[in-house]
Amino acid sequence: MPGVSVWRRGWNGLPFVVALVVGLGGCEPGSGAGPSAGGAGAVGQDGGSPGQGGSAVAGAGGRGGAAGATAGQGGSPAGGARGGGGGAMGGGQAVGGGGAPAHVGGAGGGLAGAGGNGGSTGAGGAAGSAAGAGGGSGSSGAGGAAGSRGGGGAPGATSNSANYAINPAHDGAQPGEAIRTPLVARWSVATSFGAVSYPLIADGRLYVSYADGEPRLAAYDLRTGAVSWGPLTLDATVTLAYDGGHLFGEDQNGKISAWDGATGHALWSATLGPQWSFEDPPVASAGSVYVNGLGFGGTIYALDGTTGVMRWSTNYDGGQGVPAIGGGRLFEVGGCQEVSAMDALTGQGLAVIHSTSCTGGGGGTSVYSQGRLWITDNLLGDVIIDGGGAVVGTFSGGFPAVDGGVAFYPGGGVTAVDVATGTTRWSTPIDGACTAVTVAGAGRQVFVGTTEGKIHELNEDTGAEVSADVTGFLSDASCWPIALAEGRLAYATGSGVAVY
């Protein structure tokens, strides 16, 4: 089974010894946006009324569904009348009348329930309880969600981490997600040498590009770590983005390729020009793939994600950095922090909305959230601008994750700042902190990784450390953003990827 030594500038191309380590994750816990919780217990050995099911759609309301009526007393497994809505403060899957917990014994109605995004301590925090009172193959026992926050189970709805820093806005936040705590790796993919790039999580798979003597690409089952497809041998190492069931890879020569995300089947490829430097990751959103090319100034290319046909291209001043998309517009930070904005679908309306009086190069990845853009500015310092380019604030410490009106900056640890007022809410120092910050809003969790390959979990409201885990992988200077989606977190360090 191959390991990963994903793209990093200057990788040495040495062959790697690979190991797939599967952690003991226990039962599949409930998750946030899961499917409706299953009906109550299966037909018991006596006749009688069915258990009462529970609508456990995430976000539907306070506590989980009502406990099943007569435990496992037979009757139809349809689940009877629905209980209260599960969801954001819910306690996980509604209690079925009887039967073993989901994924342990019996059918486990409705997969692993949907309450896992539940509040800080949902009613069913413990991993599926003991078998209910009535016979086999029922829905999960009381509290289908596992973990003290009830998070991290098999979700129904998809919340992909499909771009650099989670999404096309690069805001590093997943408001509807929660991760099982304390942090214990469920499985990992390791190499003996080399660097790992930022991974992607989408549609039940983890995607990684790496160099194992030759450039390769592989997909892993997000739940088990088993190889879903690949490894494919590529012409060059690539950085990745995902949209609409398609995986996209961009190499530094301007070749863009697309694969079917489920099978790895090659769909199309295109080589861009006349620019010749393509060092920034692609961005995929709403059926298009966006690429930043440099050489003669800069060019933003937009390709159709299904066919690879060029939709539009626009020249700008040129600058390194991943384009950010928000509010229907695409933003690119060029030389001297000149910020260009254009319509993301058409490329029309190109306008410079922010500039300085400096001369020379520059640029960088920007973060978009709630009508504001975080950029670096070598004349004014790091600034926050509004959609018209006016400076509305300043910051320091690196690009933030933004969730619920609070920006979380990674410099020397994590500092939480109220976006509207600029007031610091809390600051937690962490030695060697180097990754971008990632937030799981439903779990009130903030994550950051270090140069030693250690990942820290902080309380989003107070900054107190909740847990931490050492991956055992040596890190390097890349410190890639963390991927977080579908009740899982993927942390890439210098020599491996650990999944929580």
Q: What are 364's two structure tokens?
A: 């960088």
Mean pLDDT, consecutive 10-residue stretches, the chain (500 aa), reads: 35 33 35 34 32 31 32 31 31 32 30 33 33 33 36 49 97 98 93 72 94 85 97 91 98 96 98 92 97 90 98 86 94 85 95 82 83 82 91 90 97 95 97 93 96 93 97 71 96 86
For residue 148, how many other CB atoms are within 10 A of its CB? 17
Distance between CA atoms of residues 309 and 303, nearest Å:
6
Q: What angle do CA 268, 274, 278 make, to 5 degrees?
A: 65
Q: Is residue 280 part of a domain?
A: yes
480 token code pair:
């890639």
The pLDDT of residue 100: 31
Cα-based distances in Å from 233 to 2, 156, 188: 12, 32, 21
Confirm whether 348 is domain-assigned. yes
In a domain, 116, yes or no: no
Rounded to whole angstroms, the maximal C-alpha distance in the chain is: 83
Does the N-terminal peptide bond of residue 274 adopt cis geometry, omega within 30 degrees of 0? yes
Which domain, by its residues, includes 260? Answer: 18-26+159-499
What letters, b where the CB count within 10 A reaches 16 and e where it falls short, cover 203-215? bbbbbbbbbbeeb
Q: Number of structural domains, the chain?
A: 1
Give me the residues paired with residue 368 across strands.
373
Could you tell me which of 376, 384, 482 has the C-alpha nearest to residue 434? 482
Does any domain span residue 47?
Answer: no
Q: Is residue 419 part of a domain?
A: yes
Return the CATH number at 325: 2.130.10.10
- Distance from CA of residue 239 to its chain's centroid? 16
> Does some domain include residue 288?
yes
Whole-number pLDDT of residue 472 = 81
- Asked if residues 403 and 178 have their Cβ atoms less than 8 Å apart, the reply is no
State residue 102's pLDDT score: 31
| Distance (Å) of CA 190 to CA 213, 227, 259, 336, 491 | 15, 13, 24, 39, 12
Tokens of 15: 């062959």
Asked whether residue 65 is domain-assigned, the answer is no
pLDDT value at residue 177: 98
The string of DSSP codes covering 81-103 is: S--S--STT--SSPPPSSSPPTT
Beta carbons of 237 and 280 less than 8 angstroms apart? no
Residue at 387 is within a domain: yes
Q: Compute the distance between CA of residue 497 and CA of residue 485 in angstroms, rounded to an integer.
A: 15
413 within 8 A of 428, measured Cβ to Cβ: yes
